[in-house]
Structure 1
Amino acid sequence: MKGYGVAELSVERIGTHEFLGRNDRGAIVRIGRAGADGSFSPGELLQIATAGCTAVTTEELITRRAGDDARMVATVTHERAEGGREYQRLEVLLRADLDFLDEDTRRRVIRAMRTAVERQCTVSRTVERGAQVGLTIVPA
């Protein structure tokens, strides 16, 4: 389903357990099973989307104070029940050099960053609320 301002997305099988994800802007990502060389598993893509959304959402708050060359790294880990087929928790760790700020300003910036993610990060909000997923299968 294509919405206003949303890229057309597709995933095409290119080999055994090998797929290419594409958008209409020319970006490509390799998708495969967990542990496959040179590709992301679907679960890894969900995790990296969560970390990426956090980074994109907070970037302006960081660069406004630290400058356009500010370094930031968002990493993500997951928890899954033994034998479980879904993640129980995703934990994003955002590292950004804010040491040059005084303690009060740093606290306010971190609070603003957290609020921005809670209000604007589409991926985190979707995961937290549990979006429904529909499936239509069309014989080729």
Structure 2
Amino acid sequence: MTLEVQRDSEHEFVGRNERGAEVRIGRNGQAGSFSPAELLQIAAAGCSAVTAEALITRRVGEDSKFRVEVSADRREGASELDAVYVNFDVPLDGLDQAQREALAAAVDRAIERLCTVSRTLKKGIPVNETFPIA
């Protein structure tokens, strides 16, 4: 699968996949776009949500809505994140305490085993860039 990022104008880029999806990318604070660091966080939250969806809907209802919020620690002026925090907001009214704890444990296990983004961030992989010089 090929992904690309194309510059549209100053500080404005569009990321695309082969299925026709697009995402606006810009500098931190750029109106109407995500910064690259925000996309990294969204990827972590999205991967967790997709991974946990079946577990959650099976226990709280197939039509249930839930949110996954994400934030990060970043030192002032740093060009890296120090930690990413993924927090689920799931309506658990119909579950007793033991069921809630079992669901939380199952979600944690699934994310640890299956979430490509979180697993990759925890692993810390090399990123290699190439730039044409010839």
Global fold match (TM > 0.5) = yes
In the TM superposition, what is the alpha-carbon distance from 1:71 to its structure 2 partner? 1.1
Q: Structure 1 residues 139, 18: CA separation in 2 closer, same or farther (over 3 Å shift)?
A: farther
Q: Secondary structure at the match of 2:51?
A: helix
* 2:83 pairs with one of 74, 83, 89: 89
User: Aligned equivalents of 2:133 and 2:23: distance in 1?
Assistant: 25
Asked if 1:128 is matched to 2:101, the reply is: no
After TM superposition, give the deviation of residue 139 of structure 1 in Å: 5.4
1:46 partnered with 2:40: yes
- After the TM superposition, list the runs of 4 or more consecutive aligned residues in structure 1 that deviate by more than 3 angstroms: none
RMSD: 1.3
User: In the alignment, residue 77 of structure 1 is paired with which amino acid?
Assistant: S
- Structure 2 residue runs of 5 or longer lacking an equivalent are none
Which of 52, 60, 67 aligns to 1:66? It is 60
Give per-residue Cα distances to partners, 1:35-63, cap 9 Å, x unaligned. Answer: 01100000000011111111111000011
Q: CA deviation at 1:82?
A: 2.5
Count of residues in Structure 1 that have an aligned counterpart in Structure 2: 134
Write the deviation string for residues 79-113 of structure 1: whole angstroms up to 9, x where unpaired: 11232211110111111112211211221111000
